[in-house]
Structure 1
Amino acid sequence: MKKIILEKSTLLTLLVTSGVFMGGSCVFAEEPVERFTLGEFVVTASRVATNKSDTPANISVITKESIADNNYSDAAEAISKIPGVNVLGSGAKGTSMGQDKILINGDERVLILVDGRRVNLGSSGNYSADWLPPVNAIERIEVLKGAGSALYGTDAVGGVINIITKKGSELESHVTVRAASGSWNTEQYGITAGGATENGLGIFVSASKDRRGNYSYKDIDGDVKTMPNSGFNTDGVNLKLDQQIGKDNRITMQFEHLNTEGGAPFGYYGITTTDKHKRLNNNLSMRYDWKESTDNSGYMQIYRNHHHAQFLSPDKDNKSDFIDSTWGVDLQQSFKLSEKNNLITGISYYKTEVNNDVMFDGKKEIDNQAIFLEDRWKFADSWQLNTGLRFDHHSTYGSELTPRISLNKKLNEDTNVYLSWGKVFKAPTVQDLYWKQNMPYEYNGVWYDSWTLGNPDLKPEKGNVWTLGTNTKISEKTNFTASVF
């Protein structure tokens, strides 16, 4: 299936996408702000800071200036402006029960990172756009389109989105306040404060509140009615402390809290249900970086992501209490082997526990161990060859090996052309393996049980991805990006 979209305003976009493993995209953009620029450094495509013209990948950057200039209300709105990125909502905000999926080039198998830390749920492999950090806490967003399994493992089939948050040590002391209001008693509030002490301790904190009352709508007769149980209320807090140690080392502690509650007016029998949902996210991480400004940089981080969802209903069959908790550790080291050769290697481990009596008959666990490396070799003045390999061992399905090879031709400081090949895989989630739910149905006045069951013997989805692409900066406000995959 092919889709062609033509749109002309301050942004002129031509986008062509097709399939999951075979298709293409072409983007021509004239913008009021410099949102997708070469000559800048990106970290997501190679896991280390690399000049964009030396990066053989389709990667877009949304800066904090772009977020402010366009007055985006949330991160989901910002990323949805990138051609090829869609946020698939299952209803209006609040009524979707926090399950808005993020798609890249039509693929929902997208890895979401916050400061390089995996946040996808182990139960479903997804991460809702509603849970992304608030815009007032974001330094920039990097969106990598295409295969990322060789460096990031599962979930990175369609691409990777890395939300990079602000550091107090990189900001002048400040306090900012944001407020907005709108229809249906909509209110948005946000406050941020940040700065650094004399001894190098950076502090950044943001708090936000987003609420809306019940929707109003016109029925078929044109009468205005209220949609009951359609409002929501969300509170969030982000805290980041970073302390410089010595000349080039840093320790960072980060805490993210999100508490949201909303109605679920849509049910089997119309829009009159009284079901509600509550979600609580508490994520904590500790990271140590060494030799930050050198070619031999590295880091180690430990993290814990905790997600608690409650589905409340007078109907006992619709009730559910769900906990998805992941803890993990990442270790990464870069080596400058010569003037033209750099190597990056690392290991990662994470373990997910999912506890739900309704869907999984109690607690289920999965864990994954991985080791990866990538070599970047500039074998000529304008040519670069990247070769990478990752080995994953999953507690349920076994092992997986994912290689990648990329060839990059740098035409000048503003233009590059690249060709890449890589294997991708998507590991089965807890939901795929152990889901158990009764979905009763009625036939001729009689109700029958209909069980949806997972398969503990599932193996990963696998594929091969070829990509041919180019990036060029035509002027300060015009960039051209094209890729066929």
Structure 2
Amino acid sequence: TTKKAVEGVKTSINLETGSYGREQENILHLGKSGEWSWSVYARKSIMGDYSSARESIPSYENVENAGIKLTKAWGETADLTLSYRVFSGRYKSKIFNYKNTEPDETKPPKLVKNIFMTDARKTEDNLTLEYERKFSDTENNIVGIYRRSSNAAYDRSLNVERPWLLDLRTEGFFDRYSKQWHPKHTLTGGVEYYKDQVLDYQDLAAKYSDGTVISKAVYLQDVWQLADSVKAVGSLRQDWNSYAGSKLSPALSLEYQPSEKVLYTLAYTEYFAPPKQLQIFSPDYGDEALKPEEGRVYEAGLTYVPDESSSLKINVFHRDAADVSAVDISLPKYLRRYANIAHEKATGFTVSASKRFSEKWRSLVAYTQTKVDTERKNSSPVSTMIPHGELLLDLMYEYDKYSVLLQGRGVFDQANGRGENRFANNNYWVWNASLNYKLQKNTRLYVKVNNIFNQFYSNWDNESGGFLGFDEWYAEPGRNYQIGINYSF
């Protein structure tokens, strides 16, 4: 959807099938004629029961999405763009709850698994209208309005007295103005206004509606070209949130490029993250007194390109966050609510290198290491969703009409020091391979084999208070394949 149309019309169709009853169809249409340009896409995907490399997982999904982007240009000075996207999904999966089999409430509960299938649905639509005006070579303005609606629900079933439902809407506008007021300075300023609403919420125990959060902001940024090899970017952003208060957040970055082969970067950013709608308004877990998460991020980077065939990138960062919000699982289950549970520090680095050995062979290696420390290690949601170490390997071979890609992903300490019982496998490797063959100028056939060695693993934290342990439905699919054909005209 980010592709820009060129004069003329182009259409691309993709058909795919594979393991687990997979069916997928895609179509993308791009066009431009005179002052009008457009893009249209549509996609449908179906998948059934899958295997986690240990057992079959009852599951079903049927997803459809589509979108259109239409632009009207007035010469070289103005554009009006309308974008609209819709999404619809139906899901069936195994979920868990628990039952207390101890009738005497004065005694410790006897918890047993209560596993059942449930049907779910989700719909979403996004509408954006933007008008951009170029006043001169050094001055332009863009103004836009935005609307997003989202509805998700678990349908009524034998195990659920009434459906779980979440109906959200966001509306707002923005205005951004940019002016190069000096040969070495470009100033950008803007305003934002968004209204987030909970139109309807309900779960097994409670209902809620008409929760509204107003977010406003103004910002100012200056790009200063100190010298041919040195650039500085400074900004100030003032946020106001109807529940979380206000904050002035500065940011500063420096770039130094002594030659075409080397680039150094330094950056400092302060941020302000108000609680989300559900964290505030949920009848069971919400808390309207939640504080915003505030923090500082420090970064340093190096990019080294010795020649056209190779590159090296290094990035180091440190994040210091106060008032991180999460459900406080240290409390008894019936008392658990969202709370500002931790002061969190994260430190890490990423090193990546790419190399083209010849016209046929090229590779990429990237390693990221992140260490997260919190005051309350049983409560932080971020520390268990970011692995301590992750290694990515890509090896590509291209010859004539063929291209082959082998990808490996190694994860080391998936729980980031928070224990091995949260995930299916705390340390693992997953390997994928794909083969592309150009049948004709506009036709491409491809085959993919995912999780070649049938690794048992999960990407989702399954911490459940300790009594359930690990359950299969959070595991990722085992070995599977996809076959597809792409045709453009």
TM-score class, shorter-chain normalisation, is: 0.5 to 0.7
Measure, in 2, the Cα distance between the counterparts of 1:244 and 1:256.
21
Counterpart residue number, 2:202: 357
Asked if 1:303 corresponds to 2:161, the answer is no
Q: Quote how far apart the aligned CAs of 1:215 are.
A: 2.1
Partner of residue 205 from structure 1, selected from 27, 30, 40:
40
Q: Quote how far apart the aligned CAs of 1:216 are.
A: 4.6
| Residue 363 to residue 316, structure 1, CA distance change in 2 (3 Å) | farther
Task: Please tell me the residue identity of whatever aligns with 2:20.
Answer: W
Asked if 1:402 corresponds to 2:249, the answer is yes
Query: Does the CA contact (< 8 Å) of 1:360 and 1:434 recur in 2?
Result: no
Partner secondary structure for residue 116 of structure 2: coil
Counterpart residue number, 1:460: 292
| Residue 304 to residue 292, structure 1, CA distance change in 2 (3 Å) | farther
TM-score (norm 2): 0.58
Measure, in 2, the Cα distance between the counterparts of 1:378 and 1:325.
41
Query: Does the CA contact (< 8 Å) of 2:221 and 2:234 recur in 1?
Result: yes
Measure, in 2, the Cα distance between the counterparts of 1:475 and 1:318.
63
Counterpart residue number, 2:4: 167
TM-score (norm 1): 0.58
Q: Quote how far apart the aligned CAs of 1:189 are.
A: 0.6
Query: Does the CA contact (< 8 Å) of 2:267 and 2:298 recur in 1?
Result: yes
Asked if 1:276 corresponds to 2:113, the answer is no
Measure, in 1, the Cα distance between the counterparts of 2:176 and 2:166.
33
Query: Does the CA contact (< 8 Å) of 2:237 and 2:250 recur in 1?
Result: yes
Counterpart residue number, 1:192: 28
Counterpart residue number, 1:249: 78
Query: Does the CA contact (< 8 Å) of 1:167 and 1:241 recur in 2?
Result: no
Q: Tell me, which stretches of 5 or more residues in structure 1 are unaligned?
A: 1-136, 138-164, 220-224, 438-452
Q: Tell me, which stretches of 5 or more residues in structure 2 are unaligned?
A: 99-112, 318-489
Query: Does the CA contact (< 8 Å) of 1:303 and 1:328 recur in 2?
Result: yes
Partner secondary structure for residue 316 of structure 1: coil
Give 1 or 2 for the bigger CA radius of gyration: 2
Measure, in 2, the Cα distance between the counterparts of 1:208 and 1:202.
21
| Residue 427 to residue 339, structure 1, CA distance change in 2 (3 Å) | same
Partner of residue 171 from structure 2, selected from 327, 331, 344:
327
Task: Please tell me the residue identity of whatever aligns with 2:167.
Answer: I
Measure, in 1, the Cα distance between the counterparts of 2:190 and 2:210.
30
| Residue 408 to residue 267, structure 1, CA distance change in 2 (3 Å) | same
Range with bigger deviation, 411-420 or 247-256: 411-420
Identity within the alignment, %: 25
Hey, which of these two has a bigger chunk of strand by percent? 2
| Residue 195 to residue 412, structure 1, CA distance change in 2 (3 Å) | same
| Residue 236 to residue 427, structure 1, CA distance change in 2 (3 Å) | same
Range with bigger deviation, 415-424 or 186-195: 415-424
Q: Quote how far apart the aligned CAs of 1:478 are.
A: 2.5
Measure, in 2, the Cα distance between the counterparts of 1:267 and 1:416.
51
Query: Does the CA contact (< 8 Å) of 1:312 and 1:319 recur in 2?
Result: yes
Asked if 1:428 corresponds to 2:275, the answer is yes
Post-superposition CA distance 1:69-119 (Å, at most 9, x none): xxxxxxxxxxxxxxxxxxxxxxxxxxxxxxxxxxxxxxxxxxxxxxxxxxx
| Residue 371 to residue 207, structure 1, CA distance change in 2 (3 Å) | same
Post-superposition CA distance 1:187-232 (Å, at most 9, x none): 11101111112x321121011111112225676xxxxx7533x011
| Residue 414 to residue 260, structure 1, CA distance change in 2 (3 Å) | farther
Q: Quote how far apart the aligned CAs of 1:415 are.
A: 2.8
Measure, in 2, the Cα distance between the counterparts of 1:167 and 1:380.
33
Measure, in 2, the Cα distance between the counterparts of 1:217 and 1:413.
48
Range with bigger deviation, 269-278 or 349-358: 269-278
Task: Please tell me the residue identity of whatever aligns with 2:24.
Answer: Q
Counterpart residue number, 2:355: none
